[in-house]
Amino acid sequence: MQSKPPAPVMTTKPSPDPRKGTMTRALTWIRRRRRIAATHLLSGLCYGIGTGLAGLAFWWLEQHP
């Protein structure tokens, strides 16, 4: 019969200010996803500009027969 390995020792200590830990985690999460968010923002901006230009073109065509 094999013996069980010892339980892992908790080496991390809780932050004295719970908001500090939460803020750090949130900032880390944002930093990791910054490039993805910028890509989505740019593509949304391009779609919006294209839709606006197409709408203006059709409006202009309706106004100038």
Instruction: At 44, list the tokens.
Output: 């949304």
pLDDT value, residue 15: 59
pLDDT, position 38: 93
Stronger pLDDT, 9 or 63, i.e. the higher one = 63
pTM: 0.53
Q: Using one digit for the tens of pLDDT, what is the confidence trace for 4-55?
A: 877 777 676 665 565 667 788 888 888 889 999 999 999 999 999 999 999 9
Q: Write the DSSP assignment of 3-17 as a string of letters.
A: PPPPPPPP-----SS
Q: Answer whether 15's CB lies under 8 Å from 21's CB.
A: yes
61 or 25, higher pLDDT: 61
Measured at the CA of 13, the angle between CA 8 and CA 19, to 5 degrees, comes to 135
What tokens does 60 get?
A: 């202009």
